[in-house]
């Protein structure tokens, strides 16, 4: 069941325009740097990463590879599942503790439908990429780096996702979406907002972190507030427009309530859709059904 959808014809037209304009867009790279304005909005000029690939599976249906981005501050491990000529691609950001093994069937399903699926083992998520998980230790460490003008891990992760988008666009010349589940949706929304070459954003079972509200409730001002705002999805989601935003959430979610997802949706610009799916928390087969159905209407399928 869909809740409060945007008008379908305009939605499809904008998507197709975005696909034409954004697929494979590249340009001159600036020197690596970041800035955070007075409202807490992050801007990044990301360091260039080099890439190595190991093919794990190759057959008539798809190729699955382990792709490592070698960045200025360590390797970021990703896994790509794609048909030979995908119609669209997605940079997928997992929730806390999600493993690539849990997405094996999903990656094959997307590839069979004609879509490239890149799973990013983000920094600190417990997989093959080093780093701290989001929590008090990371917040303290990143704020210290922020104050010293060094790169916080959180901002590096945003650049990792942007580099992943660039890689897929250069390789396949197709629209590339930022998609994330739970915590991953929080990173993905910022990546989509700070990198206008993303074709759109898909957030599943996600919301704000609540860090900004927690800090401002203590009457703290200045740089702590600016830093807190810089990691919150609500700071950015409106700026993704006119690219599409899809928020998928379940009324049965007991970890991030449906209303929290709806609050984030309300802040997004058009075109946008709030889509209810069956299940509890996080991406599942019913959420996949909704996403693949939308893409099939826009881009077609190869399944």
Copy the structure tokens of residue 156. Answer: 């590096």
Q: Where are the domains of the chain?
A: 2-299
pLDDT of res. 29: 55
Q: Yes or no: say if 66 and 92 are a contact pair by the CB < 8 Å rule.
A: no
Q: Yes or no: say if 233 and 207 are a contact pair by the CB < 8 Å rule.
A: yes
Find residue 200's DSSP bridge partners. Answer: 177
Q: Is 301 helix (H, G, I), strand (E, B) or coil?
A: coil
Residues 6+ away with beta carbon under 8 Å from 117: 80, 81, 82, 89, 90, 92, 103, 106, 107, 110, 111
Residues 6+ away with beta carbon under 8 Å from 84: 63
User: What is the C-alpha radius of gyration for the chain, rounded to an integer number of angstroms?
Assistant: 18
pLDDT of res. 301: 86
CA–CA dist 170, 19 (Å, integer) = 14
pTM of the shown model:
0.89
Q: Yes or no: say if 276 and 2 are a contact pair by the CB < 8 Å rule.
A: yes
- Show the low-confidence residues of the chain (pLDDT under 70): 1-30, 303
**H helical segments located in the chain:** 8-22, 104-113, 136-148, 153-172, 183-194, 211-216, 223-230, 258-267, 285-299
Copy the structure tokens of residue 150. Answer: 């060094």
Copy the structure tokens of residue 170. Answer: 């250069």
Q: What is the pLDDT of residues 262-284, one digit of tens each?
A: 999 999 999 999 999 999 999 99
Residue of 179, 196, 192, 175 whose CA lies nearest to 237:
192
Instruction: Name the pairing type of β-strands 50-58 and 115-121.
Output: unpaired
CA–CA dist 42, 174 (Å, integer) = 26
pLDDT of res. 303: 59
Peptide bond into 75 cis (omega under 30): no
Copy the structure tokens of residue 295. Answer: 């893409």
pLDDT of res. 31: 79
- What superfamily does domain 2-299 belong to in CATH? Alpha/Beta hydrolase fold, catalytic domain (3.40.50.1820)
CA–CA dist 263, 278 (Å, integer) = 19
């Amino acid at each position: 069941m869909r809740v409060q959808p945007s008008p379908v014809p305009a939605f499809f037209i904008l998507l197709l325009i975005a696909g034409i304009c954004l697929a494979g867009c590249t340009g001159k790279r600036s020197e690596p740097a970041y800035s955070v304005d007075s409202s807490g909005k992050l801007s990044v000029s990301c360091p260039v990463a080099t890439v190595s690939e190991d093919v794990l599976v190759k057959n008539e249906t798809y190729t699955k590879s382990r792709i490592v981005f070698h960045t200025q501050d360590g390797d970021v491990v990703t896994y790509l599942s794609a048909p030979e000529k995908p119609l669209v691609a997605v940079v997928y950001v997992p929730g806390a503790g999600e493993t690539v093994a849990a997405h094996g069937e999903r990656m094959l399903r997307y590839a069979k439908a004609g879509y490239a699926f890149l799973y990013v083992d983000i920094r600190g998520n417990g997989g093959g990429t080093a780093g701290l998980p989001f929590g008090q230790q990371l917040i303290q460490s990143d704020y210290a780096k922020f104050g010293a003008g060094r790169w916080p891990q959180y901002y590096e992760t945003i650049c990792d996702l942007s580099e992943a988008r660039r890689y897929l666009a250069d390789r396949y010349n197709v629209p590339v979406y930022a998609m994330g589940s739970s915590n991953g949706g929080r990173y993905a929304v910022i990546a989509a907002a700070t990198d206008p070459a993303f074709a759109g954003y898909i957030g599943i079972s996600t919301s704000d972190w609540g860090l900004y509200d927690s800090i401002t409730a203590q009457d703290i001002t200045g740089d702590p507030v600016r830093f807190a705002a810089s990691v919150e999805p609500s700071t950015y989601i409106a700026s993704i427009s006119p690219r599409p935003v899809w928020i998928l959430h379940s009324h049965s979610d007991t970890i991030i309530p449906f209303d929290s997802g709806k609050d984030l949706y309300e802040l997004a610009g058009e075109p946008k859709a709030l889509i209810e799916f069956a299940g509890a928390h996080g991406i599942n087969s019913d959420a996949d059904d909704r996403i693949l159905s939308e893409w099939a209407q826009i881009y077609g399928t190869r399944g």
